[in-house]
Amino acid sequence: MSWAEQCAAVIPCLNEATAIGKVIAGVRRYVPNVWVVDDGSTDATSSGAEAAGARVLRHAVPQGKGASLQDGWRAVQTAGFQWALTLDGDGQHASEDIPAFFELADETGARLVSGNRMNDTRRMPLVRRGVNLWMSRQLSRAAGTRLPDTQCGFRLMNLTDWAALPVKAVHFEIESEILIAFARAGHRIGFVPIQVIYEDERSKIHPLRDTVRWFRWWQRTGKIRS
């Protein structure tokens, strides 16, 4: 497959003006077509993304990471792309890891490939590591398959499969819902080791509010077996 022709990158952003240009430049070495979804930023995220060569979709007010991703996925599918590569706009994901996603999809036929940071967690903050391990265990049980890193936003996804699934999450629970939906639909899911990068970026996750949202989603969706 010609990934440069069939895949577009989707990057959800909220106030990432300082990092977004460098992120886009790295991604375009492997994926020329990049869409940035600016989720109501109050800085120069949109203009910086456009200057770096990305197409920009902008929300007037923040709608959530899930809403931003789904808007981006719909846009690139409408534009004729069959696959979407998603990653964060804060520089936490290394563009050098992108080819590994394509290689695994080619080799295994996986319809969803997710980054796996859990092979080397030394640089991951302790709280994030513990939460990710716990969530990954719970989601693995619900999905009926091993999911070693369920909270990584660095992914490659087939858009035809996504469009046929009941994915409705609009906030940070989107990563969990996508995995559960693909697993229950019987689609092959793969994981590739990626670099763990934590520098000066600040997580957009609100510890209390987004934890409550995740547990509400879990009660509604995660515990229901197919």
Helix axes 174-184, 126-143, angle to 10 degrees: 30
Tokens 């999905």 map to which residue?
A: 143
Mean pLDDT of 66-83: 97
- In this prediction, residue 224 carries a pLDDT of 41
Domain boundaries, the chain: 3-222
Q: What is the pLDDT of residues 212-222, one digit of tens each?
A: 666 665 666 65
Other C-beta atoms within 10 Å of 163: how many?
A: 11
Mean pLDDT of 142-168: 91
- pLDDT at residue 120 greater than cutoff 70: no
pTM value is 0.85
- Look up the CATH number of domain 3-222: 3.90.550.10
- pLDDT at residue 121 greater than cutoff 60: no
